[in-house]
Amino acid sequence: MPLATNHSGDRAKTVTLTKFTPSINLTKPGDRHGVMRVDLNWSAEVRRGLFRRPVAIALGLGCLYELADGAKGVVEVDRLGSLEAEPFIRLDEATPGGESLRIDLERPELFRRILLFAKGDADAPNWAAADGVVTLHPTTGPAVEVRLDEPVPSARSCAIALLQNPGQGITVHREVHYVDGAHRELDRAYQWGMDWD
């Protein structure tokens, strides 16, 4: 599996993760990078039907996390998280067509894995029309982009990217895995092992 290397340098550069180059190193052992912003952007409305009326599209950004001490949880619209205490991840206020969260990578050894996901408000969203893209903005090196392509019409959620710390720094791997359902189904697909009852 090809692994791109994230070098410091031109901040205007963006690395796009694809099926053929699905992973990149975000940090190396001992690196400290401060707060990384993660943006989810999509087309907030599309025009369809006989009179081309606008139809709103609403997505939500969130993540499942597992810390090095074994703590697990979810950050999303009703569980905003915190940057000052566990889980060191916080969801910001949404805007039409966009949501952001921040991850404090000042101590990357605190994290084991983070699964970034998007989900629709209720029914399965129109993923193709939404044309979603997630961009990670590390404090050094290029931005990292993952496009929500290959949509599955019936899916309610999409696992976007998996950040892991296997002990050699943090890597990000493109997932773009659509699931019929929300937390439980994402948990089951990635063997997170949380209790949703």
DSSP state of 188: H
* Torsions phi, psi for 175 (to 5 deg): -110, -60
Q: How far apart are CA 182 and CA 155, in angstroms?
A: 9
State the burial class of residue 111 (Cβ atoms within 10 Å of its Cβ: 0-12, 13-18, 19+).
buried
Write down the pLDDT at residue 45: 64
Q: Strand, coil or helix: what is 92?
A: coil
pLDDT band at 6 (very low <50, low <70, confident <90, very high): very low
Q: One-letter amino acid identity for 64?
A: L
Is the C-alpha dihedral spanning 109, 164, 190, 147 positive or negative?
A: positive
* Six token digits for residue 97: 């067509």
Task: Report the pLDDT value the prediction gives residue 7, as an integer from 0 to 100.
Answer: 39
Tell me phi and psi for residue 186, to 5 degrees. -65, -45
CATH class of 3-8+16-190: mainly beta
Report pLDDT digits (tens) over 24-60: 988 777 677 799 999 999 886 655 556 666 667 788 9
pLDDT digits (tens, 9 = 90+) for 96-106: 778 999 999 98
| Spatial contact of 63 and 117, defined as CB atoms under 8 Å apart | yes
Q: What is the pLDDT of residues 67-112, one digit of tens each?
A: 999 999 999 988 999 999 999 999 997 777 789 999 999 888 899 9
Give the Å distances, CA to CA, from 194 to 104, 154, 190: 23, 25, 11
